[in-house]
Amino acid sequence: MSDIAVVTGANSGIGRATALHLAAQGYVVYGTVRSLDRAGKLNSWAAERGVEVQLVELDVADDASVAAAFAHILSEAGRVDVLVNNAGVGGNAVAEECPPSMYLDVFNVNVCGAIRCAQAVLPGMRERRSGAIVNITSVAGRIAALAQSPYVASKWAFEGVSEGMAQELAPFGIRVVIIEPGVTKSAIFAKNIDAPNQTGAYDAAYRRLFQFYAAGLANATDPFEVAQLIHHAVTTDAPQLHYAVSWGAQELIDAKAAISDPDWVSLGAIADDDAYYEAFHQRLGLELRLD
């Protein structure tokens, strides 16, 4: 009998690649999307690959939507063996300029949305004493990405929730996997272009944020590489809790663990952009200059 997988945010990027890859590996895959009308590319790619992804409308930010979607999935499939919590949103703002409502909105999707979905499948997984929860966090859950305060806060929180879940669910034989992507080819980056800059005091921070993503997009990793890693993580006999993947992820995680607090703080105080990019390269191991 084929395993049942649910992939949230399956309409693009990592979610779409994961849904298609798991289907190609023989899983029965339910891909959740906020609107069936916007899933044309997913459907066409599935047809090209000769696989099927069952589409279910679901808004992870809404209790009733999550409950209805998983009631449908469980009534049809009977169980969920793998849940991939991929649905998420970005959020650009420095702390001074970010209204609390924006933090709450980003948290509601990136943290509470994943918790809603996990709560829908965990009773059955506990009863069967098997299953896997894959939480897609971000390298921004390990290092504070500049001028993305709400996004960073949500991903750091999601890391903490995930590490706690790993211990909470271990007695029931349920595997928890944390995937920490760097820059991966995804529509989220094309949408994530807002920069409040209400005071004008943080021009450099926003400019350097977009420079980071310009460099990342020039080297962005194919999302199918992430999908392959997710499949490995849920099937390997020697699982890890954390998996860094995609451009910049491992370099930034390793460098942040080694950098001193004074060096971290002084990086932000550098006034000249070119000097900042050089220091970023020296301290964190990534070249942000495109020339």
CB atoms within 10 A of CB 55: 20
Structure tokens at 171: 């007695």
- Strands (DSSP E) contained in 86-210 are 131-136, 174-181
CA–CA gap between residue 207 and residue 213 (Å, rounded): 10
- Strands (DSSP E) contained in 74-232 are 82-85, 131-136, 174-181
Look up tokens 């004493």; give the residue.
129
For residues 208-232, one letter each, b for 16 or more C-beta atoms within 10 angstroms of the residue's C-beta and e for the rest, the string is bbebbbebbeeebbebbbbbbbbbe
C-alpha torsion sign, points 228, 234, 238, 240: positive
Cα distances (Å, whole numbers) of residue 180 to 23, 55, 138, 252: 22, 25, 4, 11
Beta-bridge partner residues of 4: 28
DSSP 8-state assignment for residue 286:
-
CA–CA gap between residue 59 and residue 260 (Å, rounded): 41
Catalytic residue among 27, 30, 103, 151: 151
CA–CA gap between residue 6 and residue 86 (Å, rounded): 10
Structure tokens at 158: 């999601």
Structure tokens at 282: 């020296």
151 labelled catalytic: yes
Nearest to 84 by CA among 22, 38, 141, 142: 22
Active site residues: 151
